[in-house]
Each structure stands twice: as C-alpha cells, then as structure tokens.
Amino acid sequence: MPVRVAEYLGIDAAGGIPITPINVETKPSVPCLFRNDICSKAKQGNQPICSVRHAKSDTLWISCRHRFCASSPKDSPLNEHQIKILKMVASAVYQTTLPDSEILVKREVPIPITARSNYLADFVMARLRPNGVAEGYCIVEMQGGGETTNTGKLSATVRDWARNATRNNQLLMAESKANVLATNAWRRQQEQFLVKGNVAMLIGARMVFCVGQLIYDYLIQRLTSTNLQTLDDANWTLALFAISEDPASAPPACAPNSIQLRLDPARTKYTNYNSFVQALTNQGTPQPQILRGNYLSLSGLTVHI
C-alpha cells in the first residue's frame, strides 16, 4: 500500500502551514522539535521525514527514531514534547495522574548482558512518593514505528516537491510506492523485548512497551488464539500501549505545528510477562503433513514418504 508524507521537519503537512524545504545535500544542522538536539536525518543528508501515512487507511507511521519520544541525548534537558509523552506513559502505568515531581526517569540505561555486550533501556521510570520513597520501577521502551520499503522512492517524491517552483504541501503529500514495515519493526524488537523484559522480571521491575498502532495491531492479531491473561486491575508485569493521533490535544510550544499523539485507550494490554512470552512461542498447531511428501536425496533420487 502506498504511503505519503505526514510530517516534514516536525510540521504536519496537512495542517495548513506552508512548508519550506531544506537542502539536505549540505547536511545542515537544523533543530529537531522533539528533543533538544539537531535533526539526525538532515545531518546525515537524508530527507527529514518524521512520519508517513498509509494512503488508504490514513494511519500514522512514525519513520524517524527520534520522533516519538527519544531517550537521547541523555544529558540534555527533556523538552516539552518528551515530558508530555512521558506523563502520558506514567498515567497509564500508575493508573492515576501524577504531579511532575513524582515522575522519575533515567535515559539510555545500560543493561549489561555479557562482558562484551550491553543493551540500553530507553527509559527506566519510577514513582516518587511524597515521603521520598521510590517505587513502581519500569523499563520503558519506545517504538513508535520504523523504516519503510522503497525509501528511495519516498525521498524522490520529496525531492521533486522541493525542486518544484510552484510547490505546495499537496505535492509533498503525493503518494509514493513506499510501504510500512510493521513485521520488520516487531522482529527487530523481539530480542530487545525478551532480554530487557527478562532482566526487568529478575530485578522486580515491570516491562512497558509503547508501540505504533500498526505494530500493536500486527502483534495482537497474532495472539488472538492464545489465552493471554488480561490483568488491568491486577498485578501485571507487562504493559503494551499503542500510539495514535490526538487531534484534540494542545501542542507543546516546542512543536506547535506537529501531529499530536496519545496512548490509544482502545489499544492497551496489561498482562503477565511470562505468559506473554509463552503466547509468542506457542503460536501454531501440530502439522505432521509437512513431514510427508517428496524428498530429494543428495544422490539425486526422489523419495516419497
């Protein structure tokens, strides 16, 4: 299914604000609106596309790793956008609205696995009680989307728009033969999920995954036949939150013309980490017929079994 540009340099292409292109060939240093740093795509000479849409369903797909809620650079102050997202996550995790002073986060926290291998947790979150005691520790991973197929064709669409003397946002949003890769995004996250989730369980923390709507739907559809526990009001150890658009939300000052996001209340799952892992590995049913049929011996003979 084709996609079209949704955000360019943090600006909603459908929001009515005329967008001015930048010359990415010069690898310029331009601000990223979603963290206190420069746009990594532009600095690498790539088109600064933050997100795209399915041309048919209009579903948002975040295509920049810094767009949703970047954990880097970890030593810089959090900007208003990051704070807004993290407060949403905290409200869903602790199931109440907390003052900012009670929400604690660490960014890019090393998780040593072997002497030569470290993983990084996007965030470690905790709740600070008024008595000074911290509790409710969670490892929080942010995966709003991922790459697209045919990225070159999507970039070519943006280049054609930038070079057009009569360009407008409609040209920027022309359909491209790129497509989203929810399958690849989840496969890439599985190792992270298994390792970080297991570490969280070993230290008495919980695991929280915030993913794009398309990743969430892809995953849940494959678990519909499993007996996955629902623990909304119980002692859950794993939470899955889907990200969707929120047209009614007021934008932060740092990104006044961007698409606003929320945790989709219709796409949340509180469950048990171990039962979720079991559900992932227990997919499929016995199919003995796959062992029958024609085989080819290495001597070149066909053998029917």
Read off the pLDDT of residues 203-240 as tens digits, 9 standing for 90 and up.
999 999 999 999 999 888 877 666 777 788 778 999 99
Please name which of 268, 267, 273, 264 lies closest in space to residue 206, comparing C-alpha atoms: 273
Q: Which residue has the higher pLDDT, 283 or 135?
A: 135
Average pLDDT over residues 122-130: 95
- Residues 18 and 8: their CA atoms lie apart, in Å, by 11
pLDDT above 80 for 55: no
Query: How do strand 294-296 and strand 31-32 relate by DSSP bridges?
Result: unpaired
- Residues 32 and 38: their CA atoms lie apart, in Å, by 5
- Residues 267 and 242: their CA atoms lie apart, in Å, by 5
Q: What is the pLDDT of residue 173?
A: 94
Per the structure block, which two tokens stand in for 255? 């990104």
Domain ranges of the chain: 1-64+147-179, 68-144+181-282
The beta-strand segments (E) located in 14-160 are 31-32, 37-38, 49-54, 60-62, 103-114, 117-128, 134-143, 148-149
- The pTM of this model reads 0.90
Q: Residue 121 class from Cβ within 10 Å (0-12 exposed, 13-18 middle, 19+ buried)? A: buried
Query: How do strand 148-149 and strand 134-143 relate by DSSP bridges?
Result: unpaired
Average pLDDT over residues 145-172: 89
Q: Which residues contact 20 (CB under 8 A, 6 or more apart)?
A: none
pLDDT above 70 for 299: yes
- Residues 228 and 282: their CA atoms lie apart, in Å, by 11
pLDDT above 80 for 242: yes
- Residues 228 and 276: their CA atoms lie apart, in Å, by 6
Q: What is the pLDDT of residue 178?
A: 81
